[in-house]
Amino acid sequence: MNKGTQVVCDSLPRYVVLVNFTDQGIGKIRESPKRAEAGRKLAEKYGGRLQVYYAMGEYDGVYVAEMPSDEVMTQYLLALASLGNVRTKTLKVWTAAEAADLISKLPK
């Protein structure tokens, strides 16, 4: 899906993905910017969006992703991992407003 036809929806589930390079990924670090762009385009094919940030510290990168569902996010992450360049840890996240809505629905 290209940017011209991408459907923008503010209610897509959001995820923070903590990324570490594998030995293969760090061994070919010069290819990393091209791989990051390919990962962003792959996210679009799954109906989502991906922002890629490189990081210093415990993790080599942080991705902020929006995908249509948890199942689609899982498929995306499996496709990404199968390339052998990164390992990931994923957190599903909510905005403060979304969390407030969830909390307001707790039984009293």
- Do the beta carbons of residue 14 and residue 92 sit within 8 Å? yes
| pLDDT given for residue 2 in this prediction | 39
Residue 30 lies in a domain: yes
Please compute the mean of the pLDDT values over residues 57-77 and round it to a whole number. Answer: 98
Residue 71 lies in a domain: yes
pLDDT exceeds 80 at position 27: yes
pLDDT confidence band for 11 (50 / 70 / 90): confident
- Do the beta carbons of residue 29 and residue 96 sit within 8 Å? no
pLDDT exceeds 90 at position 20: yes
Residue 81 lies in a domain: yes
Residue 54 lies in a domain: yes
Residue 89 lies in a domain: yes
Counting the structural domains of the chain, the total is: 1
Residue 6 lies in a domain: no
Q: Which domain holds residue 42?
A: 14-104
| pLDDT given for residue 10 in this prediction | 58
- Do the beta carbons of residue 41 and residue 98 sit within 8 Å? no
Q: Which one-letter DSSP state was computed for residue 2?
A: -
> Residues 7-26, buried b or exposed e (16+ Cβ, 10 A)?
eeeeebbbbebbbebeeebe
Residue 4 lies in a domain: no
Domain holding 100: CATH number?
Answer: 3.30.70.1030
Residue 88 lies in a domain: yes
